[in-house]
Amino acid sequence: MALLKIKDLTVGIKQTGEKILKGISFSLNPSEILGILGESGSGKSLTALSILKLLPPGLSYFKGQVLFEEKNLLELEEREVNKIRGKKISIIFQDPLSSLNPVLTIEEQMEEIFQYHLGIKGKKAKDLMIRTLKEVGIPDPEFRLRNYPHELSGGLRQRVMIAMAIACSPKILIADEPTTALDLTIQMQVLELLKSLNQEKGLSIIFITHDLGILRWFAHRILVFYKGQILEIAPTEKLFKNPLHPYTKLLFNSYPGREELEDLNLWTQERLDQSLCPFYTKCAMACKESLEREPKLREVEPFHFVRCFLYE
């Protein structure tokens, strides 16, 4: 049984009706680490926000369901969603500066969360704060509690966000590029911490990142996003051994030192787009079928799904 199931999630701009997420479906299994990879602007962050009903103003849900504990979160009252957010499902936002309150110290912000979700305050709350900050590798946690967000380096800020997200022992953690500002040793330590929460406490994680190395050694399964659609789904090892979609191949070949990119023609003007395949405009293959119908996400090998005419 899936822990979280997203069905045909379609989100777009309210005024124009333009779709940004075009029918996203996937599930998160208990104790799974699910990686999300994809183009900048393909809707990864928006998917994360949609799950918790945190859509930015101007956008709305057109279709779809987010099923968690037998309820569709999208139909719940704000009051009920609030109880789940931060407690059962918590999220680390992509931009830590904008999601920390600039006029409150770290201690004041953590206090708020603890009081709201755990009902603890005072010394008990403070002990827990210090412990969690230590766990995510923040030196001098007591001192850092008195800092305002702008006084922290990029990496410290990001670790504070991680600490806040795991402090209430959630069931699901959605992490949107949580380690991009961290250096390698701390990044690996934070990942080890998340891995141990995953293994020991069964924490399920949705992990969004552009870092192929992290996904390779951390995620169990990977989704590849492109222009609001999922192009490929596969268990991690399979995906790295045998990427199927031309976009996934391009992504892997873009890794520094792998191949000279000049050949890959990324600079060409996009082809005029009347095609129904999202990758048509940049694809070396550019199948003719794309002009007639939409490629469907198909299981072409066990557990390996791809949306591409080449495999139909």
Partner 1 sequence: MNEEILAEVKGVYKAYKVRTHFFKKISFYALLDVSLKVRKGEVVVLLGESGCGKTTLGKIFLDLEKPDKGDVFWFSYNLKSLDKRLYKEIRPKIQALFQDSFASLNPRFKVKEILSEPYIMNFRGSKKEALEKALEVLCQVGLSEEILERYPHQLSGGQRQRVALARALITQPQLIVLDEPTSALDMTIQSQILTLLKRLKEIKGLSYLLITHSLPTALEMADRIVVMYLGRILESFKKEVFRRIDHHPYTKMLLRAFPDPFSENPPEVSTIKGEPASLLQRKEGCEFYPRCPEADSLCSKERPTLRGNNEYQVSCFKRHFN
Ligand X SMILES: Nc1ncnc2c1ncn2[C@@H]1O[C@H](COP(=O)(O)OP(=O)(O)OP(=O)(O)O)[C@@H](O)[C@H]1O
Contact status: 61 vs partner 1 (CB under 8 A): no
Rounded-to-integer distance, Cα 209 and Cα 179, Å:
8
Q: How far is the CB of 297 from ligand X (least distance, A)?
A: 18
Contact status: 20 vs ligand X (CB under 6 A): yes
Rounded-to-integer distance, Cα 180 and Cα 182, Å:
6
Q: Is the dihedral of CA 28, 34, 39, 41 positive or negative?
A: positive
Q: Which of residues 1-40 bind partner 1 (CB under 8 A)?
A: 38-40
Nearer to partner 1, 4 or 133 (CB): 133
Query: 114, 120 in Cβ contact below 8 A?
Result: yes
Distance of CA 85 to the CA centre of its chain: 15
Query: 224, 37 in Cβ contact below 8 A?
Result: yes
Residue 256 interacting partner from ligand X, Mg ion, partner 1, none (CB closer than 5 to 8 Å by kind): partner 1
Residue 255 interacting partner from Mg ion, partner 1, ligand X, none (CB closer than 5 to 8 Å by kind): partner 1
Q: Which are the contacts of 47, defined by CB distance < 8 A and separation ≥ 6?
A: 6, 9, 21, 24, 36, 225
Nearer to ligand X, 49 or 283 (CB): 49
Contact status: 196 vs partner 1 (CB under 8 A): no
Question: Interface residues with Mg ion (CB under 5 A)?
Answer: 45, 94, 154
Rounded-to-integer distance, Cα 208 and Cα 224, Å:
10
Contact status: 110 vs partner 1 (CB under 8 A): no
Nearer to partner 1, 74 or 148 (CB): 148
Contact status: 263 vs partner 1 (CB under 8 A): no
Interface residue list for ligand X (CB under 6 A): 13, 20, 38, 40-46, 56, 58-59, 94, 151-156, 181, 183
